[in-house]
Amino acid sequence: MASLPLRFLLSAPNLDALGPSRAEVAVVGRSNVGKSSLINALGGSDKLALVSKTPGRTRLLNQFAVGELGTLVDCPGYGYAKASQTLRHSWQKMVEQYLLTRPQLVCILALVDGEIGPTKLDVQLLDWLRAEDRPFAVVATKHDKVKSSQREKRKRALAEGCEVAPSEVVWVSAHKGVGVDRLRGLILERLAA
Ligand code: GDP
**Structural domains of the chain, ranges and CATH numbers in brackets:** 6-192 (3.40.50.300)
Distance 103 CA to ligand 1 centre (A): 30
Give the Cα separation of 93 and 90 in Å (integer). 5
* Pocket of ligand 1, beta carbon within 6 A: 29, 31-37, 77, 141-142, 144-145, 173-175
pLDDT, residue 150, reads: 97
Please report which confidence band the pLDDT of residue 52 belongs to, taking 50, 70 and 90 as the band edges: confident
Express each pLDDT in 101-145 by its tens digit. 999 999 999 999 999 999 998 999 999 999 999 999 999 999 999
Express each pLDDT in 117-127 by its tens digit. 999 989 999 99
Distance 173 CA to ligand 1 centre (A): 9
pLDDT, residue 88, reads: 61
- The helices-and-strands tally (H runs, E runs) of the chain is 6, 7
What residues contact 170, with CB distance under 8 A and at least 6 apart?
137, 138, 139, 140, 179, 182, 183, 186
- Using CA of residue 100, residue 168, residue 5, residue 53, what is the dihedral sign? positive
pLDDT, residue 82, reads: 57
What residues contact 45, with CB distance under 8 A and at least 6 apart?
3, 6
The model carries a pTM of 0.95
Closest C-alpha residue for ligand 1 atom 15: 34
pLDDT, residue 81, reads: 52
Do 110 and 141 form a contact (C-beta atoms < 8 A)? no
Closest C-alpha residue for ligand 1 atom 10: 32
pLDDT > 60? residue 77: yes
For residue 172, which atom of ligand 1 is closest to its CA?
A: 23
pLDDT, residue 83, reads: 59
User: 90-94, 95-99, 166-170: which has the highest mean pLDDT?
Assistant: 166-170
Do 183 and 34 form a contact (C-beta atoms < 8 A)? no
pLDDT, residue 85, reads: 63
Distances (CA, A) of 103 to 16, 136, 139, 164, 179: 12, 14, 22, 25, 28
Distance 137 CA to ligand 1 centre (A): 19
Choose one of 28, 37, 147, 171 to mutate for the ligand 1 pocket test, by most ligand atoms within 8 angstroms of C-beta.
Answer: 37
For the chain, the straight-line distance linking the first and the last C-alpha, in angstroms and rounded, comes to 19
pLDDT, residue 87, reads: 55
Distance 160 CA to ligand 1 centre (A): 23
Distances (CA, A) of 65 to 132, 143, 150, 158, 176: 26, 27, 37, 31, 24
Closest C-alpha residue for ligand 1 atom 22: 142
pLDDT > 80? residue 51: no
